[in-house]
Amino acid sequence: MKISILAAAAALMAGACSAQAANIEFWYGNTGVVEKAIQDQCAAFNAAQSEHRITCVGQGSYEVSMQKAIAAFRANKHPVLIQFFDAGTLDLMLSDAVVPVQDVLPEVKWDNYIAGARAYYETSGGKLFAQPYNSSTLLFYTNKTELQKAGITKTPATWEEIIEAARKLKASGHACPFTTDGDTWRVLEQFSARHGLPIASRHNGYDGLDAEYVFNTTFAAKHLQNLIDWRKEGLVKLNADTKAGNFTAAFNTGECAMMENSSGSYTASAKAFEGKYELSVGMAPMYEGYERHNTLVGGASIYIMRGHDKAEVEGAKAFLDFLRRPEQQMFLTAATGYVPVTNDVMDAIVKSGEANAPKYATAAVGIESMNQPRTPDTRGIRLGFYVQFRQVFMEETQKAFAGQETMQAALDNAKKRGDELLRRFEQTYKGVRMQ
């Protein structure tokens, strides 16, 4: 009888342990130095505790990760945690494949997240759907060494100052004063947000699925035409114009002197410049006469996928708690240039005595940029099939850069094709309540 009781107790204990412990998967889309940092964090989590074990699986890109996760969900073979990028936010919210992180972890102080990091991933009512993770924003990079050679001692802060500096660089013999790839995120989304301009009606879709694109009627159209004019003048180069064939590589090798790029590219630029050039990084430039607003958060956040048992969800919660720790955010910032996402991390960086260290160069400026005054039009982008729209925008504007049509015609075409995507999305989710 005594043996039976002990056996039953052991069985109950084993059952209790198995109910708490779990082996879970986390899918992500990054490669290179960011993938290395993610894998290091996964290994650190497994080493820090023995209750749960996480396997982190790279999918090669955000787009591929998103497609595979939806397919896996339909086949009931999906991971517990999935990293999705900003453009897929509405598609995922309405997919019924994920549960809001704020519902699963109600005890977390979510208001500790910086406003710029959480606004993109929360519902219209303010509930956070995903935990911001590798967050970036747009910053302005200069090769100070090359600017000084051209007699430019003050880092440009406005587009007017950039073009004045670009003309001095060209006059001094510099072949590539400023470079960009014309990417939707850089030249439309981030430009519109910080200048307080809408991309679409209904506050970029936050107020309803019946939004329509309006970017072709805003000052963004003038900026894109300016890029064409400056390129003709020899002040701006696109990917194909550079020896490197890629704007980031062209800047990192010293071929080009200025660029706008993600904070997540800082580490690669700093490493490439080491011992050769002096690098500066600051907030993305404004046009004179416009009030500065917040830039949008880029990068990606982590979602909890629906349909897993209690033990797996507990494992997911433990991993998210681990990533939220200030020391883990500081590690990711130092390793990649991504921006911290909670308010307490900047205090931790200051207390570390390394606030001015190059490895944290993007932290303060990135947070400052995302925390500028916001309007209902700069909260984020809540538009369906937005991943496909980004491709449409690139296709049309590249025709304008190639001289096949005017920039205004390209933007009008992009608006027309974009609206068709929105109506298709609206029809797909007809009757579904907007988050």
pLDDT in tens, 203-212: 999 999 999 9
Question: Is 177 inside a domain boundary?
Answer: yes
316 and 194 co-located in one domain: no
Calculate the CA dihedral of residues 253, 257, 258, 262 and round it to 10 degrees.
Answer: 10
Q: Does position 66 have pLDDT exceeding 70, yes or no?
A: yes
84 and 115 co-located in one domain: yes
Q: Does position 43 have pLDDT exceeding 90, yes or no?
A: yes
Q: What local confidence, expressed as pLDDT, does residue 1 receive? A: 38
Q: What is the mean pLDDT of residues 394-413?
A: 97
**3-state SS class at 202:** helix
CB atoms within 10 A of CB 380: 25
Q: Can you list the alpha helix ranges (DSSP code H) found in 307-371?
A: 310-324, 326-336, 344-351, 361-370
Mean pLDDT over all residues of the chain?
Answer: 92
104 and 38 co-located in one domain: yes
**pTM for this entry:** 0.88
319 and 355 co-located in one domain: yes
332 and 410 co-located in one domain: no
What is the rounded CA–CA span in Å between residue 28 and residue 301? 10
Q: Does position 113 have pLDDT exceeding 50, yes or no?
A: yes
Q: What local confidence, expressed as pLDDT, does residue 20 receive? A: 63
124-140 per-position pLDDT tens digit: 788 899 999 999 999 99
Higher model confidence: residue 432 or residue 332?
332
Are 341 and 135 spatial neighbours (Cβ–Cβ below 8 Å)?
A: yes
What CATH number is given to the structural domain containing 322? 3.40.190.10
Question: Is 35 inside a domain boundary?
Answer: yes
What is the rounded CA–CA span in Å between residue 139 and residue 270? 14
Q: Does position 10 have pLDDT exceeding 90, yes or no?
A: no
* 347's tokens: 């205090």
Question: Is 40 inside a domain boundary?
Answer: yes
Domain count of the chain? 2
300-352 per-position pLDDT tens digit: 999 999 999 999 999 999 999 999 999 999 999 999 889 999 988 988 998 99
Contacts of 200 (CB under 8 A, 6+ apart): 211, 212, 213, 214, 215, 381, 383, 422
* 257's tokens: 């002197």
Q: What backbone phi and psi angles, to 5 degrees, belong to 74?
A: -65, -30
Are 228 and 407 spatial neighbours (Cβ–Cβ below 8 Å)?
A: yes
pLDDT band for 435, please (50, 70, 90 cuts): low
Q: What local confidence, expressed as pLDDT, does residue 434 receive? A: 67
Q: What local confidence, expressed as pLDDT, does residue 225 receive? A: 98
163-187 per-position pLDDT tens digit: 999 999 999 999 999 999 999 999 9
What is the rounded CA–CA span in Å between residue 253 and residue 269? 9
Q: What is the mean pLDDT of residues 359-367?
A: 90
151 and 285 co-located in one domain: yes
131 and 269 co-located in one domain: no
Q: Does position 8 have pLDDT exceeding 80, yes or no?
A: no
Q: What is the mean pLDDT of residues 48-76?
A: 92
Q: Does position 11 have pLDDT exceeding 80, yes or no?
A: no
State the DSSP code for 161.
H
Contacts of 49 (CB under 8 A, 6+ apart): 318
Q: Does position 3 have pLDDT exceeding 80, yes or no?
A: no
CB atoms within 10 A of CB 127: 14
Are 297 and 136 spatial neighbours (Cβ–Cβ below 8 Å)?
A: yes
Nearest to 366 by CA among 137, 116, 158: 137
Nearest to 339 by CA among 103, 85, 137, 203: 137
Domain that holds residue 31: 22-136+296-371
